[in-house]
Chains A and B, each alone.
Chain A
Amino acid sequence: MERPVSYNVNPKPLEKDISIANMPEGHQGEGFFATKLSDVVGLARKNSIWPLPFATSCCGIEFMATMGSHYDLARFGSERVGFSPRQCDLLMVIGTIAKKMGPVVKQVYLQMAEPRWVMAVGACASSGGIFDTYSVLQGIDQVVPVDVYVPGCPPRPEAIIDGVIRIQDLIGKESLRRRNSDKYKQLLESYGIQ
């Protein structure tokens, strides 16, 4: 039976055997290239994300498939999955977070160094999902700020890759001053951080 996948409805032919990130905007001539520092930093950051998977349930199984050779998250510069929050850039919360686990998620987030990003993978991490009950946190955005939400119960590996690409877009375009801005400080203060 044919089981179409909604993500790859438009087949994309392989352009080159090796794909290289696009050059940022800038001026070039004989022997020089001038561009903005933020673009270079963004380019470097977005193609070398170290994810920290906080996998608690079935979405974690989909994430394992995403890391495997078939879907291969390594193609996006994220093959180095770290289990130490101090060295990671991207907190991926994958699965149901019980209320008792909420402070643990927050603790892991606090241990990460700036700049840090958070991705909520799956319905449970995003909103509590089907577990509308006294014991389950109704979305991890109640304890930490979230950058990208990946829908699905559980999301297919394509959806997780889509989320990572959206995180990459955010990272690549982020202003170098954002983390020092008042707006960002207010956001963290609203979560009682710092």
Chain B
Amino acid sequence: MLNCYMVKFLTKTIEDLSNLAMLTYERIKQRLIEKFGEQLTAFSEPYGMLTFEAPKEMNLKVLNFLFDDEELKFRFLTDLQAVHYPDDKGRELAVVYHLHNLVDNIRIRFKVFTDITNPDVYTATGLFSGANWMERETYDFYGVKFVGHPNLKRILNVDEMDYFPLRKEFPLEDQSRIDKDDEMFGRG
């Protein structure tokens, strides 16, 4: 037989559990602003995923906080890549981290921007071993220099390549080719 005290206790336990499981984007944003204040900017939710920016010097502080915090627990790095915005002077390269909280099944996107003439960003390999190859790939295609990376060299392209092929100033077509007749491609 359930007496009224047991019912109360069970109800409270169920409420506690549901509160714990309800990690929302509002709560994540609140925790981040409590910790970092005005330094985190551009909170938005493109395509339904929480996205925000930090100064590039702070990327490890933010990642460590997201990893260690008992409530946030973003302990899986889904993906890491760069984007080149050639028209955005002083912040041409964006390094984007996709993080996953495996317990609550919540994903967020975290960006840092850097000047293309000084593309130094601290490496996340100390925190996520999986960042090793992802950072090598990002270096390979965009030339982002990950400071402190144990083995920052090309991973997918040939070692002899002397440029970063996904930067916008490089055309997609192979520039070493001499046998192509431009007139045949409507650009004579």
Chain B 121-156 interface 0/1 with A at a Cβ cutoff of 8 Å (1 = within)? 000000000000000000000000000000000001
Of A100, A102, A132, which is within 8 A of B174 by CB?
Answer: A132
Q: A-B pairs with the 5 shortest C-beta distances? A: A134-B165, A132-B173, A99-B158, A100-B158, A138-B177
B158 & A138 in contact (Cβ 8 Å cutoff): no
B170 & A134 in contact (Cβ 8 Å cutoff): yes
Of A100, A102, A133, which is within 8 A of B173 by CB?
Answer: A133
B170: A residues at CB distance < 8 A: 134
Q: Which residues of B contact A (CB under 8 A)?
A: 156-158, 161, 165, 170, 172-177, 179-180
Of A99, A102, A138, which is within 8 A of B157 by CB?
Answer: A99
* A165, B116: Cα distance in complex, Å: 55
A128: B residues at CB distance < 8 A: 174, 177
* CB under 8 Å from chain B, chain A span 125-139: 128, 132-136, 138
Taking each of A102, A134, A138, which has the highest tally of chain B beta carbons within 10 Å of its own beta carbon?
A: A134
* A134, B158: Cα distance in complex, Å: 10
B161: A residues at CB distance < 8 A: 134
A135: B residues at CB distance < 8 A: 156-157, 165
Number of residues in A with C-beta < 8 Å to the partner? Answer: 10
A133 & B172 in contact (Cβ 8 Å cutoff): yes
B172 & A134 in contact (Cβ 8 Å cutoff): yes
Least CB distance, B51 to chain A, in whole angstroms = 30
B175: A residues at CB distance < 8 A: 134
Least CB distance, A96 to chain B, in whole angstroms = 13
B157: A residues at CB distance < 8 A: 99-100, 134-135
* A138, B175: Cα distance in complex, Å: 11
* A183, B108: Cα distance in complex, Å: 64
Kindly report which residue of chain A lies nearest to residue B172, judged by CB atoms.
Answer: A133
* CB under 8 Å from chain B, chain A span 110-146: 128, 132-136, 138
Chain A 83-121 interface 0/1 with B at a Cβ cutoff of 8 Å (1 = within)? 000000000000000011010000000000000000000
Least CB distance, A98 to chain B, in whole angstroms = 9
Least CB distance, B124 to chain A, in whole angstroms = 26
B158 & A136 in contact (Cβ 8 Å cutoff): no
* A102, B158: Cα distance in complex, Å: 10
* A102, B173: Cα distance in complex, Å: 18
B179: A residues at CB distance < 8 A: 138
A132: B residues at CB distance < 8 A: 172-174, 177, 180
Kindly report which residue of chain B lies nearest to residue A101, judged by CB atoms.
Answer: B158
